[in-house]
Amino acid sequence: MRFTEIKTVQFRNLESRAIPVDKRQVFLIGSNGQGKTNFLEAIYTLCYGSSFRSVQLRELANHAYKDFKITGVYEGQDKLLHSLVLEYRDSKRTVSLDGREIKDRKELIYNIPCIVFSHDDIAFIRGEPEERRRFFDQTMSMYDPLFFDDMRRYRSVLRQRNLAIKENRLNLLDVYDLQLAKYGLSIQQERSKAVYEFDQIFPEMYRKVSQTDVDIHIHYNPSWGKCATEEEIVEYLLENRQRDLNLFTTTSGIHRDRFNIKDENGPFSQSGSTGQLRLASLIFRTAQMAFFHKKTGKQPLILVDDVLLELDFTKREMFLELMDGYSQAFFTFLPDEHYFSSLAGEEALLYSVQDGRFTSCEG
């Protein structure tokens, strides 16, 4: 699967025009603030219906407008060309595939698997626990529709339970506890399996690229770790209900789970250098690619946003070798990162990006 054309209208600072991208590799070369990352954001937003940079879609429109539109033509698994359109108008998002409106975002996220590499990924290693929860939930949702459904249901019940606590509608809590236990236990079990499998991939990748013997592992610590059944979770929630009432929120559950990254010295966020943490965050993404391929047999589309500059030549070569399993890749580079020309194979397009305008250039 790969895009053959991306067209944006009134999106960020990008010129409203169609950009041909019918190659396995697409390189965007330009100084900071010219629109390279905005183009990657447009692709990601088209694939998933949401941005990896902004929570509110209205923020993606050009400052002179309130609406925007993104259109992508891509070659699917069936070897046919398809048209995917996302339009934001009158504060409403509409997505259509080959002229048919997609009502459920669930259908959209399994259409074009997409993984973005960015500087913000370092939060997976040294950020708050919610960042790692988000990473693993995203990873699992890419291949498991049942997990995606359970997460949506759990979050819905959690919102209702928290609202009932705040409004003192305590007679509803028994019902919510049963539902929370049902979906939460299923999520906990699937997370445990996924982390075990992911941890068979990540440590070896890190050792290979870092060229060290540092032994890093991911440890899953569920909030309900001592509960093995729905009944035990319900009992635990009842025992701790007063604490929830005192704090006006649900203080236990899969939304409180922790994914800890440790080496032989303890938490890696404390023992690792900034360079090691940055490298580990990149390896998290390559491991995500490998894990997705293992689960589905499919290769994802990847968006690589200015993350290679900090790697020396040897690490960069090893890293690129690990991340080669993609269907299509979009890379951004600064003009002085001349090594991008050595990466471009026959299946490559190079664009110079300035003030949101794209100019084709030879590799």
345 pLDDT higher than 70: no
- On whether the CB atoms of residues 8 and 331 are closer than 8 A, the answer is no
Average of pLDDT values for 6-12?
Answer: 97
pLDDT tens-digit map of 177-196: 999 999 999 999 999 999 99
Give the mean pLDDT of the chain: 93
Q: How confident is the model at residue 342 (pLDDT cuts 50, 70, 90)?
A: low
**Domains in the chain: boundaries:** 1-113+298-363, 129-295
Domain 1-113+298-363: CATH architecture, name and number where available: 3-Layer(aba) Sandwich (3.40)
- On whether the CB atoms of residues 48 and 30 are closer than 8 A, the answer is no
In CATH, the number for domain 129-295 is 1.20.1050.90
d(CA 106, CA 52) in angstroms, rounded, equals 17
Please tell me the total number of residues recorded for the chain in this structure: 363
- On whether the CB atoms of residues 95 and 19 are closer than 8 A, the answer is no
117 pLDDT higher than 80: yes
d(CA 349, CA 361) in angstroms, rounded, equals 8
d(CA 138, CA 100) in angstroms, rounded, equals 26
Q: How confident is the model at residue 148 (pLDDT cuts 50, 70, 90)?
A: very high
Q: Which residue has the higher pLDDT, 309 or 96?
A: 96
User: DSSP string covering 317-349, please?
Assistant: HHHHHHTT--SEEEEEE-TT-TTHHHH--SSEE
339 pLDDT higher than 70: no
Q: How confident is the model at residue 338 (pLDDT cuts 50, 70, 90)?
A: low
Q: How confident is the model at residue 340 (pLDDT cuts 50, 70, 90)?
A: low
Reported pTM: 0.93
- Percent of the chain having pLDDT more than 90? 79
Give 277: exposed, middle or buried? Use CB within 10 Å, 0-12, 13-18, 19+.
Answer: middle
